[in-house]
Copies of this chain bind each other. A is one copy, B any other.
Amino acid sequence: MMDNTTENDEVQFDEEHLSSLIHQGDTLAFREEYLSLHPYDQAQFYEKVEPDIRQVIYQYLSPKELAEIFEALELDDNGYTRFLEEMTPIYAAQMISEMYTDDAVDVLNELDKDQISHFLKLMSNEDAQEIRELLHYEEYTAGSIMTTEYVAIPENSTVRSAMTILRNEAPNAETIYYIFVVDDAEHLAGVISLRDLIIADEDTLIHDIMNDRVVSVKVADDQEDVAQIMKDYNFLAVPVINSKNEMLGIITVDDIIDVIDEEASEDYSKLAGVSDMDTFDKNPFLAAKKRLPWLVILLFLGMITANLVDLFTDTLEKVALLAAFIPLIGGTSGNSGTQALAVAVRGIATGNSEEDNKWALMLREMVTGIIMGVVCGIIALGIVYFWQHTFLLGLLVGVAICCSIVVATLAGAVIPLVMHRMNIDPAVASGPFITTLNDITSILIYLGIATAFINHLM
């Protein structure tokens, strides 16, 4: 992608040239070339090359320089471990302690407890303590994605002294564009943007120009809620506080972009019945491994459908034409269920659902289902009547489609909401699963009605 989007040729990194500098053992030339790249490009190179070249990189770069590259790596589960294993433990520990705390925690979270405490022992007490504090926050909470490298100033500072603090902190802070103001007891009292700071008079008190209506998130808040706030308010960073209103860290917009992307991917995977969509597998065996679990579970569920149809063999033997509409009715029911599911899951994700009012939601989805059911039912009746010239069969198919759509719509909307409420992992309510359930109910409805009225149909 870089080809068409970067401005000039120098921007792309020349992989061969970098490798050749390493092969020549030209430390200085390599460092100059490599370190002038954007960390993202450095990370691309680092990830791509053979392990023996990375061994040289560990010689040429300091743990601090490598830390910046590690922050730019975006790896899947257990992606960091294989790199850490290439390094000496002391080098790895130093590198981790040089990373922004949130990124360090991401890396460490891949390891088991013994390995983590081994690395923490190799760090300075202070660094280890900071990391240890973040490690115990639960996944998917604000605490798990926040970083502790932020700029905080006392509210009675002047703009001049604030700028001095800022210049000192700039090399280490993850962002200096929002400066958080704390009172004597370290409570979050306000926020001021660097934009406002640089246009303010140098002798002004921070207290007088800060925004005291600061929006913050609690450390245990769901990361999706944090993402929603930052998206709504267009924040570049948001402060994280504990229940005593003490400031613990900040969450920056780049982490939030990852959260938004991740959550959307997750919802999408659920709808499709793929266990993990983060990587586009080049290896067909890995791809099959990710997709097979759902396919096999659904195959077993599908056998239930087959069993059900089998119960109606007598009916089907009498009017074989009935079988022709089984896929149609199952399919339509599956489609309407998937639509309802998608809307509900998206509603949960974007916080737009009114799940507080479960009954209103159920009523609304039922009405939606009835409208769609009646429309589709009448259309189906019409088609079948004109095609087969039997009004009764048309009526049967129409009624079955209508009922199936109502049931499927209700199930698709309500099941994920109920699961969300009960804190059950909504992955269980994934698209194909609900589709198969709807398959079963729709066939029961269709063949049930058909059997009841079989004498009229023959």
A interface residue numbers (CB < 8 A to B): 1, 4-8, 10-11, 36-38, 40, 72, 74, 163, 166-167, 170-171, 176-177, 188, 194-195, 198-199, 213-218, 221, 225-226, 228-234, 236, 241, 245, 253-254, 256-258, 260-261, 264-265, 267-269, 271-274, 277, 279-280, 282, 284-285, 287-288, 291-292, 294-296, 298-300, 302-303, 305-307, 309-310, 313, 316-317, 320-321, 323-328, 330-332, 334-336, 338-343, 346-347, 350-354, 364-365, 367-368, 371-372, 375-376, 379-380, 383, 387, 401, 405, 431-432, 435-436, 439, 443
Say yes or no: A339 contacts B5, CB within 8 Å.
no
B36 near A332 with CB under 8 A, answer no
| A123 smallest CB distance to B (angstroms) | 25
- Asked whether A221 lies within 8 Å of B341 as measured between CB atoms, the reply is no
- Contact B376–A296 (Cβ < 8 Å): yes
Given known pairs A233-B40, A309-B324, the reply for A221 and B274 (CB within 8 Å) is: no
In this complex, what residue of B is CB-closest to A283?
Answer: B364
Having A5-B217, A280-B347, A303-B387, one finds 11 other A-B pairs with CB under 8 Å, namely A5-B215, A7-B188, A37-B213, A38-B213, A177-B195, A273-B338, A273-B339, A277-B346, A294-B339, A303-B328, A306-B324
In the assembled complex, 18 residue pairs joining A and B whose CB atoms fall closer than 8 Å, in A order, are A1-B228, A1-B351, A7-B216, A194-B194, A234-B254, A284-B365, A287-B368, A291-B368, A299-B328, A302-B327, A306-B328, A317-B317, A320-B320, A323-B326, A326-B326, A330-B330, A331-B334, A331-B435
Cβ distance A341 to chain B, nearest Cβ, rounded Å: 7
A213-B10, A439-B327 known; A1-B320 Cβ under 8 A: no
Contact of A342 among B171, B274, B282, B307 (CB under 8 A): B274
Q: Cβ of A330: which chain B residues have Cβ within 8 Å of it?
A: 327, 330-331
Asked whether, in the complex, the Cβ of B299 is within 8 Å of the Cβ of A221, the reply is no
Number of copies: 2
- Whether B324 contacts A313 by the Cβ 8 Å rule is yes
Contact of A176 among B195, B230, B267, B443 (CB under 8 A): B195
The residue of chain B having its C-beta at the shortest distance from the C-beta of A375 within the complex is B292
Are B439 and A331 interface neighbours, CB within 8 A?
yes
> 9 nearest interchain CB pairs?
A272-B342, A264-B264, A302-B328, A284-B367, A323-B323, A309-B324, A284-B368, A288-B371, A280-B352
Which residues on B sit within 8 Å (CB–CB) of A280?
A: 343, 346-347, 350, 352-353
The docked-state distance in angstroms from the alpha carbon of A245 to that of B8 is 9
Give the distance to chain B from A172, nearest Cβ to Cβ, in Å.
11
How far in angstroms is the closest Cβ of chain B from A220?
A: 10
Q: Are B268 and A332 in contact, CB atoms less than 8 angstroms apart?
A: no
Query: Could you tell me the distance in whole angstroms from the C-beta of A279 to the nearest C-beta in chain B?
Result: 8
Residues of B within 8 A of A316 (CB): 316, 320, 323
- Given A296-B375, A327-B443, A335-B432, check contact A40 B232 (CB 8 Å): yes
- Output the nearest chain B residue to A194 by Cβ-Cβ distance: B194
Contact partners of A272 in chain B: CB under 8 A = 271, 338-339, 341-343, 431
Contact present for B38 and A215 (CB under 8 Å): yes
Could you tell me if B326 and A274 are in contact, using CB atoms closer than 8 angstroms?
no
